[in-house]
Structure 1
Amino acid sequence: MLETTQIKQRLPFIDLIRGMTIIEMISYHFLWDLVYLYNADIPWYKSHGAYIWQQSICWTFILLAGFSWHLGKKHMKRGLWAFGGGVVVSLVTAIVLSNDRVRFGVLTLIGSCILIWILLDKVLKKIPAGVGVSVSFVLFLILRSWTKQDPIQLSDNLLNVTWLKSVLAYIGFLQTGFSSTDYFPLLPWIFLFATGYFLYSFLQEKGLINRLFGKGKVPGINFLGKHSLIIYMIHQPICYVVAFLVSEIF
């Protein structure tokens, strides 16, 4: 049954989840700065547990981005802002942290997915939501395992063309010499975005959107969730400075 009550354009619990994830992200990046820029001795940070923590942050952001597609109308503006933010991050890190630059990071991915969905939305609406959630998530898991364990290395004279190698890396086909400290190509991550997209439709069909996400306000945290993009853009320089001060003091 379709949900008969009007769905709020802002769902407080979604902002709360996003705000809590922003706090986790800031904490993770602060520790990254301490460990990799200022040589702090934090063995746990290089453990499998820290990797799971990092992945949970990224998964949450991408799922919420797909889920939130349905909550706004200015998709072109949102997509361009996110993609543009990703370009800025890439340029700044290339200048300031040439050995630890970000290429095709999470903002580039989210912006790309939003823009791609402008073309796909009408077609994807015809797919049953339950099928969409299941198929998207299974494809994500399969492709994630494949790209992680055995990234494709293509060899051809054309791959000497720099822009072509970048396009392949953007899609998800790794090439020799490519590196990025925050790498989220379209494959497999576009299918995690799709999972969030279909999850919203599935819960809406069950009449659960407002019931699950209509309440949940925590002052400060919801604010972070509402302004996640700008906070993402400004948090890293602040983390650099604070990490520097901490390293100098301790």
Structure 2
Amino acid sequence: MTTAPLPYRITATGIETADCVSMEVTPADRPLARFSPGRFAMMYAFGVGEVPISVSAIHGQRLVHTVRAVGAVTRALCRLRVGDFVGLRGPYGTGWQLDVEDRPDILLIAGGIGIAPLRPVVHQVLGRPGAFGSLQVLVGARAPRDLLYTGEFARWRRAGARVEVTVDRPDPGWRGSVGVVTDLLDRCETDWTRATAMVCGPEAMIRHTARALVDRGLPPPRIQTSLERNMRCGVGHCGHCQLGPLLLCRDGPVVGYDRALIPLATRER
């Protein structure tokens, strides 16, 4: 881990949606320490600023980040092209925990761009056939145009994953499910007492999904959530990412629901 950004060259880009771009970056010289799914980098747009971005794919030293243009820094990042440079520092935070001892069923639940930090878990689980039970991926978005990685869903299904997708507001050509992502839980075929769930998306979606999972019998420690706050330093010094007793750049972003329950409920009130 480093506290000074290292230069990374953009080696590939892809438009995911109208406001989301994926970029593959490769170290220009010295690489950062190895990332694991769920951890994040502070990504620096030279002359503009930096923002925390989770990895959405890991290929050795090559990293993929999916960036949504919502502010000055992310808009600057989304305008970059192949051959341009960004600065990265990290890896920071905690990652998704995959325990193979009891071959748990893996349930991934994503809202909107929340599928990005979960995508490396899909790659990891599908890359280790037999190490886990079933893999079920539930994806929700506001509208079909907001769905990420739709070109990969068929490949995930062929590899053995169950992928269910729903949207809040369908367009005239939509033939899939309509509703919130928790509606898809009734389609899951799993032993709720021993599954491992990983949830990422808007905070309200995380709260409702985690409660729905507990209601179905999934113990809170087996529910992992990825929480987001305004991270600035990445090392737990500035306090901008505080959520109750947690500093999410240090104690998160991945936090067990047993630890996140009270801070999330307190913030809601």
**TM > 0.5:** no
TM range (shorter): under 0.3
Structure (1 or 2) with the greater helix fraction: 1
User: Which TM-score applies when normalising by structure 2?
Assistant: 0.24
Structure (1 or 2) with the greater strand fraction: 2
Bigger CA radius of gyration: 1
User: Which TM-score applies when normalising by structure 1?
Assistant: 0.25
